Amino acid sequence: MMRLMREYINYWLKAKNRHGVHSPYVYDFNDKCLRLQVPEKAISSYSSYRKQLNRENLTIKVSDFGAGSKKLGADRKIKDIARVSGSPIKYAKLIYKIVNHYKPNKMLELGTSLGLGTMMMKLGHPKGEIHTVEGCPQTLQYTMDHFPLTRDENLHFHNARFDDFIERLDPNEKFDFIFIDGDHRGERTQSILMSLKRHLHDETVILLDDIRWSFDMQTFWKSMTQSENYNVSIDLFKMGVLVPRHHQATENFVIRY
Ligand X SMILES: C[S@@+](CC[C@H](N)C(=O)[O-])C[C@H]1O[C@@H](n2cnc3c(N)ncnc32)[C@H](O)[C@@H]1O
Burial of 161 (0-12, 13-18, 19+ CB in 10 A): middle
- Please count the other Cβ atoms lying within 10 Å of the Cβ belonging to residue 28: 14
- The contact pattern for ligand X, residues 81-100, with x = CB under 6 A and - = no contact, is ----xxx-------------
Question: How many residues bind ligand X, per CB under 6 A?
Answer: 21
Shortest separation between residue 161's beta carbon and ligand X, angstroms:
4
- The contact pattern for ligand X, residues 38-77, with x = CB under 6 A and - = no contact, is --------------------------xxx-----------
3-24: string of b/e by CB count within 10 Å (b at 16+)? eeeeeeeebeeebeebeebebe
Residue 177 phi, psi dihedral angles, 5° rounding: -145, 135
Nearer to ligand X, 181 or 251 (CB): 181
Cα 89 to Cα 12, 50, 227, 240, distances in angstroms: 20, 10, 30, 16
Among 135, 186, 240, 244, binds ligand X (CB under 6 A): 135
189 binds ligand X (CB under 6 A): no
Torsion of CA 43, 156, 183, 227, to 10 degrees: -90
In this chain, which stretch among 24-32, 100-108, 133-141, 230-238 interacts with ligand X, using CB under 6 A?
Answer: 133-141
Among 11, 78, 99, 139, binds ligand X (CB under 6 A): 139
Shortest separation between residue 68's beta carbon and ligand X, angstroms:
8
Q: Which residues bind ligand X (CB under 6 A)?
A: 64-66, 85-87, 109, 111, 113-114, 116-117, 134-136, 139, 161-162, 181-183
